[in-house]
Amino acid sequence: MRVAALYDIHGNLPALRAVLDEADREGVDAFVIGGDVADGPFPRETIERLVAIGPRARFVRGNTDRELVDAYDAGRTEADDAGERAVAVAAGQITASQRDFLAAFAPTAVLEVDGLGPTLFCHGSPRSDMEIITRVTSDDRLRPILRGVEQRLIVCGHVHQQFDRSLDGWRLVNAGSVGLPYEGRPGAYWARLGPDVELRRTDYDLDELRAQAPADAGELLRESLFEPADPAEVSEFFERRALGAT
């Protein structure tokens, strides 16, 4: 089985369309959607497109998928923080059936991938959709996160930066972010698996996104796509957050 891993879409419909089209042209057999799918410019339309993939798709829960369901259930449609506001706004736009779709996402998924064997897909880490693993996470911090994981290949997301690293027989891959990457240049970032791991970047029409996105989505899109932040600084920022939480 050849798998396209699409993580952290964040309601960026033009980016999602571009990646799905490219992956279909290359004949992938399955899609793993790795969480944080809808909070962003086009929540309802993004979910509709994901549902349309059909039985080839497996869905792994991200933290904002869980938060969006909670916000929907609480009737919360406003917030002060930009990220929380994106979740709240999306909660006010999705339908009840879309809420149920998000609520059904699994914590993790395991697929048998050509040339790679059993592969674990998670959002943050194998043990939490909120746990932060970055490009600069130390081996000492990473070992207990991976301890006990049977699969030797693990694909994660959450920090919106691609990486491919090995430790003590495990291979840990971050597929990157389709919708809100922190890579220093725009594009939709994802991973193609089978027979090896290929970290991918797909171009799409940013002018279309800029023209169609609601004005209140601009803050998140700017630092990711329109005026990209320095990726090294982003890695250090997330690592400091992770260390502060331990």
Return the pLDDT at 217: 78
Residues 80, 73 contacting (CB under 8 angstroms):
no
Q: What is the mean pLDDT of residues 41-50?
A: 97
pTM for this entry = 0.95
Confidence tier at 113 by pLDDT (50, 70, 90):
very high
Q: What is the mean pLDDT of residues 49-69?
A: 97
In tens, the pLDDT along 187-233 reads 999 999 999 999 999 999 999 899 988 877 777 899 999 999 999 99
Judge whether residue 129 has pLDDT over 70. Answer: yes
Render the chain in DSSP notation, one character per residue.
--EEEE---TT-HHHHHHHHHHHHHTT-SEEEE-S--SSSS-HHHHHHHHHTTGGGEEEB--HHHHHHHHHHHHT----SSHHHHHHHHHHTTS-HHHHHHHHT-BS-EEEEETTTEEEEE-SSBTTBSS----TT--HHHHHHHHTT---SEEEE-SSS--EEEEETTEEEEE---SSS--SSS-SEEEEEESSSEEEEEE---HHHHHHHS-GGGHHHHIIIIISPPPHHHHHHHHHHHHHHT-
Q: How far is CA 107 from CA 123, 124, 197, 227, in A?
A: 8, 10, 22, 33
Rg (CA), the chain: 17
All domains in the chain, ordered by first residue = 3-244 (3.60.21.10)
**The two three-digit tokens of residue 84, written as one number:** 């929380």
Average pLDDT, the chain: 95
Return the pLDDT at 246: 45
User: 187: left (phi > 0), else alpha (psi -120 to 50), else beta?
Assistant: left
CA 97, CA 119: separation in Å to the nearest integer?
30
Judge whether residue 125 has pLDDT over 50. Answer: yes
Return the pLDDT at 62: 98
Confidence tier at 85 by pLDDT (50, 70, 90):
confident
In tens, the pLDDT along 147-186 reads 999 999 999 999 999 999 999 999 999 999 999 999 999 9
Return the pLDDT at 195: 96
Judge whether residue 77 has pLDDT over 90. Answer: no
Question: For residues 242 and 85, which has the higher predicted lDDT (pLDDT)?
Answer: 242
Return the pLDDT at 245: 52
